[in-house]
């Protein structure tokens, strides 16, 4: 059986993996999606988020083991705004806030300015002091000689430099002169892309070392991509850099057309193409689907067939496309396609996962869980 997964974010990756043992899987990936922007930690998105006791726990655990990127262990992570965010799990690079619990009252945590400006680290330290006032910890900005030259460099580039031996040696030497007074060191998301340099630092400095979660322009996306590519290679999933433009039902399956020409036939499809705010997809009626007309158009210019709180949103208005301005920002954040529990969309053989779905929290964990569900459903449901 041939399965095509549209999108290689967290949801697409999970779907492809779940189906890989029983199908030939091709993943289409147009460009980086939200997974590449995310801070990395598996955030919990509020009361209606995926409970940790969900039925697919075994599958999730296995997927995380194989992906070798996230650890599923509830904790809190420091955000770049100085918040402690509750999360269902972290990457190896991040310093779980639970490790602060073991520190003694009055201990100093260094907030390292390497890739951030010292003023930024100072303000982050100020915010953490407020957050953890009860614990009596002291947070202090730590400037390392030579760090200033990174002022306007994206953190992923700095991480790439630290991946090299001279880069790491420079950081390590700079820190050694400072670390006597420290009980832990908190870093911007720069501790390597291929390797988790935090573990090396932790050994050589003998103190807890790890990152806070950066939001935009963070390295988390690069790290995810390299782990994803390794996983796909290991299980024989093919990835193509094409953009699907329309999906049409054929007599016994689906035809996917690409932007710029070319097409592909598939038995089943998982749509994992990210958040759909403001339209961009059109699912045909079942009559259309049977007649061979395109069942789904994936262009932003297509009239929308999206659902908000159970109501179809389809009026046009703004400069182009759907007008959601009267619904407010939160509507944009919630809007998406409706699917059944296994990710089934309205047309047979078509499944959806991740931020594309309506009425679900937009988190990495949700993307993984729904991706696994859609991938397994695609290879079992008829």
Q: Which residues bind ligand FAD (CB under 6 A)?
A: 6-12, 28-35, 37-43, 213, 215-216, 243-244, 272-274, 298, 354-356, 362-365, 367
Cα separations (Å) of 49 from 57, 236, 370?
Answer: 14, 32, 12
Q: Compare residues 8 and 97 and give the one whose CB is closer to ligand FAD.
A: 8
Taking the mean position of all CA atoms in its chain, how far away is CA 299? 23
257 binds, among ligand FAD, other proteins, none (CB under 5 to 8 A by kind): none
Decide if 219 contacts 156 (C-beta within 8 A): yes
Shortest CB 333 distance to ligand FAD, Å: 10
Binding mask 237-256 for other proteins (x = CB under 8 A): --------------------
**What is the 3-class SS of the chain, one letter each residue?**
CEEEEECCCHHHHHHHHHHCCCCEEEEECCCCCHHHHCCCCEECCCCCCCCCCCCCHHHHHHHHHHHCCEECCCEEEEECCCCEEEEEEEECCECCCHHHHCCCCCCEEEEEECCCCHHHHHHHHHHHHHHCHHHCCEEEEEECCCHHHHCCCCHHHHHHHHCCHHHHHHHHHHHHCCHHHCCEEEECCCCCCCCCHHHHHHHHHCCCEEECECCCCCCHHHHHHHHHHHHHHHHCCEEECCCEEEEEEECCEEEEEECCCCEEEECEEEECCCCCCCCCCEECCHHHHHHCCEEEECCCCCCCCEEECCEEECCECCCCCECCHHHCHHHHHHCEECCCCCCECCCCCEEECHHHECCCCCCHHHHHHHHHHHHHHHHHCC
Shortest CB 259 distance to ligand FAD, Å: 8
Q: Compare residues 184 and 367 and give the one whose CB is closer to ligand FAD.
A: 367
Residues 171-230 that bind other proteins (CB under 8 A): 215-216
Shortest CB 360 distance to ligand FAD, Å: 9
State yes or no: residue 115 binds other proteins (CB under 8 A): no
Decide if 81 contacts 74 (C-beta within 8 A): no
Among 32, 56, 62, 120, binds other proteins (CB under 8 A): 120
Shortest CB 314 distance to ligand FAD, Å: 20
State yes or no: residue 271 binds other proteins (CB under 8 A): no
Q: Return d(Cα 121, Cα 184) in angstroms, integer.
A: 15
Site size toward other proteins, by CB under 8 A:
54
Among 23, 247, 272, 322, binds other proteins (CB under 8 A): 322
Among 32, 62, 92, 117, binds other proteins (CB under 8 A): 117
29 binds, among other proteins, ligand FAD, none (CB under 5 to 8 A by kind): ligand FAD
Q: Compare residues 237 and 308 and give the one whose CB is closer to other proteins.
A: 308
State yes or no: residue 163 binds other proteins (CB under 8 A): no
State yes or no: residue 296 binds other proteins (CB under 8 A): no
Which residue stretch of 1-9, 22-30, 245-253, 327-335 sits at the interface with other proteins (rule: CB under 8 A)? 327-335
State yes or no: residue 86 binds other proteins (CB under 8 A): no
Q: Compare residues 291 and 325 and give the one whose CB is closer to other proteins.
A: 325
Among 331, 348, 359, 381, binds other proteins (CB under 8 A): 331
Residues making contact with other proteins (CB under 8 A): 34, 37-39, 43, 79-83, 85, 117-120, 122-124, 126-127, 130-131, 151-152, 215-216, 274-280, 300, 317-333, 335, 355, 362
């Amino acid at each position: 059986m041939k399965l095509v997964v549209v999108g290689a974010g967290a949801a697409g990756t999970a779907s492809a993996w779940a189906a890989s043992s029983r199908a030939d899987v091709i993943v289409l990936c147009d460009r980086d999606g939200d997974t590449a922007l995310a801070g990395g930690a598996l955030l919990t998105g509020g009361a209606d988020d995926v409970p940790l006791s969900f039925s697919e726990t075994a599958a999730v655990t296995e997927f995380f083991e194989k992906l070798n990127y996230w650890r599923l262990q509830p904790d809190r992570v420091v955000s770049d705004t100085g918040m402690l965010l509750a999360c269902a799990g972290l990457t190896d690079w991040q310093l779980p806030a639970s490790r602060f619990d073991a520190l003694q009252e009055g201990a100093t945590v260094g907030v390292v300015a390497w890739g951030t400006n010292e003023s930024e680290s100072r303000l982050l330290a100020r915010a953490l002091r407020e957050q953890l006032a009860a614990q009596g910890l002291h947070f202090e900005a730590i400037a390392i000689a030579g760090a200033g030259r990174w002022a306007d460099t994206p953190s992923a580039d700095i991480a790439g430099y630290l991946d090299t031996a001279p880069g790491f040696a420079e950081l390590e030497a700079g820190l050694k002169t400072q670390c006597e007074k420290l009980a832990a060191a908190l870093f911007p998301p720069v501790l390597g892309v291929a390797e988790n340099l935090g573990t090396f630092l932790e050994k050589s400095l003998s103190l807890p070392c790890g990152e806070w979660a950066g939001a935009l322009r963070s390295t988390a996306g690069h790290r995810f991509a390299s782990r994803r590519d390794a996983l796909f290679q290991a299980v024989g999933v093919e990835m193509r850099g094409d953009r699907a433009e329309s999906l049409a039902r054929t007599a016994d399956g689906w035809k996917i057309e690409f932007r710029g020409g070319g097409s592909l036939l598939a038995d089943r499809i998982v749509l994992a193409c990210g958040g759909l705010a403001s339209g961009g997809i059109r699912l045909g009626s079942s009559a259309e689907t049977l007649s061979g007309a395109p069942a789904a158009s994936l262009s932003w210019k297509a009239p929308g067939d999206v659902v908000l709180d159970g109501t179809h949103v389809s009026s046009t208005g703004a400069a182009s496309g759907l007008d959601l301005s009267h619904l407010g920002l939160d509507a944009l954040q919630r809007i998406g396609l409706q699917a059944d529990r296994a990710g089934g969309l309205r047309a047979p053989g078509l499944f959806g996962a991740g931020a594309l779905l309506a009425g679900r929290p937009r988190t990495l964990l949700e993307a993984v869980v729904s991706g696994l569900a859609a991938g397994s459903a695609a290879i079992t449901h008829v």
